[in-house]
């Protein structure tokens, strides 16, 4: 468990950003990952008073505040209306309901875990992140950036009609995934995202031949071995999950 010398409930995003510049400070999301460590922080910065726990929409976009919990996303009528059961499939294996009531989308995206269901899923949609210092950038660009001391305030999902499906394989129901896969379709663009390789998710896109792309994914993606699975098994699974998710994404389009 972590400890802290002082705890500050931020009154503005600017204050949170300033406090977070110190190497020994930390933003507190749900604390679910942080509590596994033993760090002694000088200042813990709580964002819970800043209204960042809302899922909102305008004509073009859906905005997720950084403090929105995984469970809020899973049960959101708004997200389910636009994306069918995509968010449910992406989130339902993550530990359990009590855990998902606590863990936040902000903490999940900032952490950019290789095993992340959330990063895999959101990369398949057209998303930007909003950072207190750097402003708005694409999630794809953010996913490749090194860790820094910025504060993530929002994740923005474009409402452009992209249809998506999510698949994962686990050794047991709530374990970390062996492999994650999200496929999305917008007009003639098909996007494949493969995560938990076990490294961070990678993206492939095609507008011509999805079968050839799935073969390329199997042949060219770098997979690794760990205690959950070998790289050979992951390579084989990638083809299966891409096919399954592609079929589901196409079904979603037919349903519209
Ligand atoms: C036992 C266990 C099993 C898990 N299994 C899965 C799984 O199967 N699939 C999956 O996808 N995920 C899994 N996760 C990860 C989980 O979904 C969350 O991503 C994780 O707990 C982080 O969310 P949090 O809100 O708890 O973040 P915290 O623990 O509060 O924070 C994590 C990091 O992000 C920083 N941070 C938090 N919010 C912000 C912000 N707004 N701006 C800047 N920095 C910020 C914190 O300072 C910290 O460094 C698991 C986690 C645990 C502990």
Average pLDDT of span 197-206? 98
Average pLDDT, the chain: 97
Cα-to-centroid distance, 33 and ligand 1 (Å): 5
Q: Which one is predicted more confidently, 255 or 238?
A: 238
Residue pair 168/177 in contact (Cβ under 8 Å)? The answer is yes
From the CB of 29, is ligand 1 less than 6 Å away? yes
Domains and CATH numbers, the chain: 3-45 (no CATH), 55-158 (3.30.465.10), 163-255 (3.30.390.50)
Long-range interactions of 150-153: CB distance < 8 A, separation 24+? 150/17, 150/20, 151/13, 151/16, 151/17, 151/20, 151/27, 151/47, 151/66, 152/66, 152/106, 152/109, 152/110, 153/13, 153/50, 153/52, 153/65, 153/66, 153/106
Residue pair 166/182 in contact (Cβ under 8 Å)? The answer is yes
Atom of ligand 1 nearest to the CA of 104: 25
Atom of ligand 1 nearest to the CA of 119: 11
Percent of the chain predicted with pLDDT > 90: 98
Q: What is the pLDDT of residue 1?
A: 86
The residues pairing with 129 across neighbouring beta strands, listed in sequence order, are 137, 155
């Amino acid at each position: 468990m972590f400890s802290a010398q002082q705890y500050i409930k931020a009154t503005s995003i600017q204050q949170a950003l300033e406090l977070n510049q110190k190497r020994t400070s930390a933003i507190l999301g749900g604390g679910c990952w942080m509590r596994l460590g033993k760090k002694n922080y000088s200042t813990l910065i709580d964002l819970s008073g800043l209204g960042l726990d809302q899922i909102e929409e305008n004509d073009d976009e859906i905005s997720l505040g950084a403090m929105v919990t995984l469970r809020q996303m899973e049960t959101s009528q708004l997200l389910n209306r636009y994306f069918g059961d995509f968010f449910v499939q992406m989130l339902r294996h993550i530990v359990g309901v009590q855990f998902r009531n606590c863990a936040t989308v902000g903490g999940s995206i900032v952490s950019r875990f290789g095993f992340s269901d959330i990063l895999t899923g959101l990369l398949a949609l057209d998303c930007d992140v909003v950072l207190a210092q750097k402003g708005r950038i694409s999630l794809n660009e953010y996913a490749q950036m090194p860790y820094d001391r910025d504060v993530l305030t929002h994740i923005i999902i474009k409402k452009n009609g992209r249809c998506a499906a999510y698949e994962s394989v686990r050794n047991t129901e709530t374990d970390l995934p062996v492999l994650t896969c999200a496929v999305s379709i917008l007009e003639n663009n098909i996007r494949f995202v493969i995560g938990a390789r076990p490294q961070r998710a990678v993206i492939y896109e095609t507008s011509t031949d999805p079968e050839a792309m799935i073969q390329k994914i199997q042949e060219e993606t770098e997979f690794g071995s760990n205690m959950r699975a070998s790289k050979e098994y992951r390579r084989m699974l990638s083809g299966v999950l891409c096919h399954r998710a592609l079929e589901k994404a196409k079904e979603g389009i037919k349903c519209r």
